[in-house]
Amino acid sequence: MSRAQEMHAGGELAVDATRAVIGLARDVHLTIARDVERFLPPPIRQVATCHIRVVGFTYDLVESLNVIGLRAGALVLGALPGPAPTRTRVGRAVQPVVNGIWGDAVLAKASELAVLMALRVDHDDVTPDAEGLADAFPKATGHLVLFVHGLVESDESWFTRVGTPEGRTSFGERLEADLGATALYLRYNSGLVIADNGALLDTLLDAVRAAWPVPVERIDLVGHSMGGLVAREAVLAGADRGAAWVDDVGSVTTLGTPHQGAPLAGMAPVGEWLLTTTARSAPFARLLSGRSAGIRDLTRGSGGRRPHTMPGHVAQHSMAGTLTRSALVGWALGDGMVRAASALLPVPDGAGNLDRLPGVGHQALLRHESVYERLRRWLG
């Protein structure tokens, strides 16, 4: 996308956000004003009625001026020289957050800023054909390890560094050195329905396997948080249609994945309902109701997809962190986002590994040495 196109799309998103904020303030203000009006004597009530009309007109004027300013600003910024916003470091950080929180709305209203699923190398999408894969992976091996990020994250999230005696490197680079694997990093719109992202990943891996530069011997998937659900859905979708790439899958490893739902995501519907119980708080319910389909999906986790539905040859490993080493606090808080009971996916004996990591928080699962030690052992 060009700079002008992305600026225009960003301007329209800003317009929607501004209208939502101003509309929220207007509705709360007018609700309180009308509540007060009912208790005033008739002569003063007429003044209050006039005040309400002026308030409504003022908010409408402020909204119109902001919309005009935002659209004009987007037009001017789009005409200036420079890279498209999503090609900058700040843009690459902001885009996955916006998509994670409002991804389905972004896709519908500002598709130029929607994240499209792709493998990534050096901040660029990889074309999943023979030429594109050969250029992106000149040292390709037959052992593929795909890293799938979580909600509001991106392919760059895996490059948070971990300390080693030899220097500082990432999980994927270390697995390449230790196991002779080839690390693949996925980027996707984490605000979309998890099953839809799983289906897209199934299709992508089918194309990658068919065009990979060397014969594929094994594929391992590693997912952080929501990424674990997407990885499992991809395998299940591929198995349902008999996809060839699923036959090569050795394991699916999940790190802090809410297989039985995430408590914070589960609280959102309750909060939304509570806010609708009074006229004064009802406008705030709109903020929660606008959350993405991906966040809504985290309420139920894997849903009806149980462990035994996975192909029998696929090992299922899961790791759960806890904020402290205290068993009681760890049980209650989990890793700060996901409780251990949800993150540890029960599997039949011998079909995988379950491991708790005391003192490892949700985001630390992306970088902790204990996580790498287990990855190396399980994937090796």
pLDDT in tens, 10-29: 888 888 889 888 888 888 88
pLDDT score for 303: 56
- Both 202 and 56 in one domain: the answer is no
- Both 166 and 239 in one domain: the answer is yes
- Both 122 and 79 in one domain: the answer is no
In angstroms, the first-to-last Cα distance of the chain is 40
Q: Would 222 be classed as within a structural domain?
A: yes
pLDDT score for 307: 65
362's tokens: 């949700």
Q: Would 57 be classed as within a structural domain?
A: yes
What's the angle, vertex CA 82, arms to CA 81 and CA 83, rounded to 5? 140
Cα torsion through 17, 21, 27, 30, rounded to 10: -140
CA atoms within 13 A on the CB side of 142: 6
- The ranges of the chain with pLDDT < 50 are 162-167
How far apart, in whole angstroms, are the C-alpha atoms of residue 232 and residue 306?
A: 10
pLDDT score for 162: 46
**Number of domains, the chain:** 2
- Both 71 and 143 in one domain: the answer is no
Q: Would 312 be classed as within a structural domain?
A: yes
Strand partners, 356: 320
pLDDT score for 56: 85
Q: What is the residue whose two structure tokens read 């674990």?
A: 228
3-state secondary structure of 124: strand
pLDDT score for 31: 82
- Both 169 and 70 in one domain: the answer is no
Q: Would 198 be classed as within a structural domain?
A: yes
**Cβ pair 293, 230 in contact under 8 A:** no
- Both 119 and 63 in one domain: the answer is no
Q: What is the residue whose two structure tokens read 């068993």?
A: 327
pLDDT score for 277: 67
pLDDT score for 131: 97
Q: Would 370 be classed as within a structural domain?
A: yes
User: Domain range for residue 346?
Assistant: 115-265+290-379
- Pairing verdict, β 182-187 and 118-121: antiparallel
Nearest to 191 by CA among 154, 238, 142, 222: 154
pLDDT score for 167: 47
Phi first, then psi: give them for residue 310, nearest 5 degrees: -70, 150
Phi first, then psi: give them for residue 170, nearest 5 degrees: -110, 165
